Amino acid sequence: MNGFKLKTSRQLLGLALGFAVSASAFAAVTSSETSTVIGRAPVMAPPTVNYDDIDTNNLLNTGDVLRVVDGAISDEDGDTPVASTYSWLVDGVEVSTAATYTIASGDAGKPITLFAKPQTDSSITDPYEGLAVRAAGGTADPDDDGRFEPETDDKLVSVAISGFVGGFPQVGAPLTATASCVATCGTVNYQWQIEDSIGSGNFVDLATGPTYTPVKGDQKRKIQVVADK
CA 92, 95, 100, 101 torsion-angle sign: negative
Residues 115/87, Cβ–Cβ less than 8 Å = yes
Given 2.60.40, 1.25.40, 3.90.930, 2.40.160, which CATH number is that of 43-134? 2.60.40
Per-residue pLDDT of the chain (229 residues; tens, 9 = 90+): 444 444 545 555 445 555 455 555 689 999 999 999 999 999 999 999 999 999 999 999 999 999 999 999 999 999 999 999 999 999 999 999 999 999 999 999 999 999 999 999 999 999 999 999 999 999 999 999 999 999 999 999 999 999 999 999 999 999 999 999 998 999 999 999 999 999 999 999 999 999 999 999 999 999 999 999 9
Q: Distance between the two ends of the chain, CA-based, in angstroms?
A: 114
The pair phi, psi for residue 66, each rounded to 5°, is -90, 135
Q: Smallest Cα–Cα separation from 160: which of 207, 104, 224, 114?
A: 224
| C-alpha span between 73 and 58 (Å, rounded) | 31
> What is the Cβ-side half-sphere exposure of residue 97, based on CA atoms within 13 angstroms?
5
Report the C-alpha gap between 81 and 59 in whole angstroms: 34
CA distance 83 to 168: 60
Would you kindly state where each structural domain of the chain is located, as residue ranges?
A: 43-134, 156-228
